[in-house]
C-alpha cells in the first residue's frame, strides 16, 4: 500500500485491512492531472474529497469579478474539499488547481452515510479523523488571519516566516509558495513584496534564494519540558 495512504490523517488508527475497506466503501478512484489543470472551480458542488498522492495543488478563493487570493497549497499526503464533500449541495467558493503533474485519489463522502452497520467501527474512526482535519483547517485559517493582520508588508512576512520556523523547529527552511503565491497568500502586491524582501535581506533580518529562507535570529529549538508532558 502507498505510504501516503498509510500515514494519512484520514486513516489514522486504522490497520491496512481497515484502510482498504474504507477505500472500497468510499468508491475510491485515482486520476492523474497535468500542470495547471483546474480540478474544482468556484460555483461547483462535489461529493468527493481529494487526497494528493503525488504533486501538489493550490487552493484559491475567487470572487465574482475574478480576483483571487491564495489560501493554501496542498502537497503530497494532503487532502482538500472534505468539508464541501460532506455537506450536500454546498457551493465551492474556491478554485483547486494543480501546480505540477499530480495524482489524486478521490473518495465519495456520500458513502459514509450509506455504509452497512457491519462497518460502523471503520466509519467511526473515519469520522473521528475527519473531525481532527476540520480542527486543523480552522487552525490554518486562524494562522493566515494573523499573517495578514499587520499593517506593513514586513510585519506580514515576519509573522508568516516566524510561524513556519516554529513549525519546522528550524531557522532554515523551504516554504511551499513561489513569490506570486506568497504575495497572494499575504494579500500584497508581488512587486512590493519582492522590494520588501530585498530590504529585509539588506537589513540582515533574513536571507533567501527563491523559496528557501534563512532567518537571522537566535532561537533554541531544543524540546522544552512542556513538550515532553
Q: In the prediction, which pLDDT does 105 show?
A: 96
Domain boundary among 113, 140, 167: 140
Q: Containing domain of residue 135, as a range?
A: 3-140
Cell numbers representing residue 50 in the block:
481529494
Whether 227 is covered by a domain: the verdict is no
Q: In the prediction, which pLDDT does 83 show?
A: 87
Question: Both 88 and 14 in a single domain?
Answer: yes
pTM above 0.75, yes or no: no
Average pLDDT over residues 192-200: 97
CA distance 176 to 99: 11
Question: Both 73 and 154 in a single domain?
Answer: no
CA distance 71 to 85: 18
Whether 202 is covered by a domain: the verdict is yes
Ordered alpha helix ranges (H), 77-119: 82-86
Question: Both 79 and 184 in a single domain?
Answer: no
User: Which residues, at least 6 apart from 13, have a Cβ–Cβ distance to it below 8 Å?
Assistant: 125, 128, 129
Is 50 exceeded by the pLDDT of residue 175?
A: yes
Cell numbers representing residue 115 in the block:
455504509
Question: Both 171 and 85 in a single domain?
Answer: no
In Å, how far are 27, 89, 197, 198, 213 from 210, measured between CA atoms?
Answer: 40, 40, 11, 12, 8
Question: Both 120 and 170 in a single domain?
Answer: no
Question: Both 163 and 66 in a single domain?
Answer: no
Each residue's pLDDT tens digit, 107-151: 999 887 676 666 788 888 998 998 888 888 888 778 888 899 999
Domain count, the chain: 2
Q: Which residue has the cell 532554515?
A: 172
Amino acid at each position: 500500500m502507498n505510504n501516503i495512504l498509510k500515514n494519512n490523517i484520514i486513516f489514522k488508527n486504522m490497520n491496512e485491512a481497515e484502510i482498504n475497506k474504507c477505500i472500497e466503501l468510499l468508491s475510491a478512484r485515482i486520476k492523474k492531472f497535468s500542470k495547471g489543470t483546474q480540478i474544482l472551480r468556484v460555483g461547483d458542488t462535489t461529493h468527493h474529497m481529494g487526497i494528493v498522492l503525488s504533486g501538489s495543488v493550490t487552493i484559491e478563493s475567487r470572487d465574482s469579478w475574478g480576483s483571487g487570493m491564495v489560501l493554501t497549497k496542498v502537497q503530497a499526503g494532503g487532502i482538500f474539499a472534505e468539508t464541501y464533500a460532506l455537506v450536500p449541495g454546498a457551493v465551492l467558493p474556491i478554485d483547486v488547481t494543480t501546480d505540477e503533474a499530480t495524482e489524486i485519489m478521490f473518495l465519495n463522502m456520500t458513502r459514509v452515510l450509506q455504509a452497512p452497520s457491519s462497518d460502523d467501527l471503520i466509519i467511526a474512526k473515519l469520522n473521528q479523523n475527519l473531525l481532527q482535519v476540520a480542527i486543523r483547517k480552522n487552525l490554518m485559517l486562524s494562522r493566515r488571519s494573523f499573517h495578514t493582520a499587520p499593517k506593513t508588508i514586513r510585519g506580514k512576512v515576519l509573522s508568516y516566516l516566524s510561524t513556519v520556523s516554529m513549525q519546522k523547529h528550524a531557522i532554515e527552511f523551504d516554504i511551499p509558495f513561489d513569490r506570486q503565491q506568497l504575495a497572494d497568500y499575504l494579500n500584497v502586491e508581488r512587486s512590493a513584496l519582492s522590494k520588501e524582501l530585498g530590504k529585509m535581506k539588506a537589513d540582515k533580518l533574513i536571507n533567501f534564494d527563491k523559496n528557501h529562507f534563512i532567518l537571522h535570529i537566535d532561537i533554541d529549538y531544543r524540546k522544552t519540558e512542556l513538550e515532553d508532558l
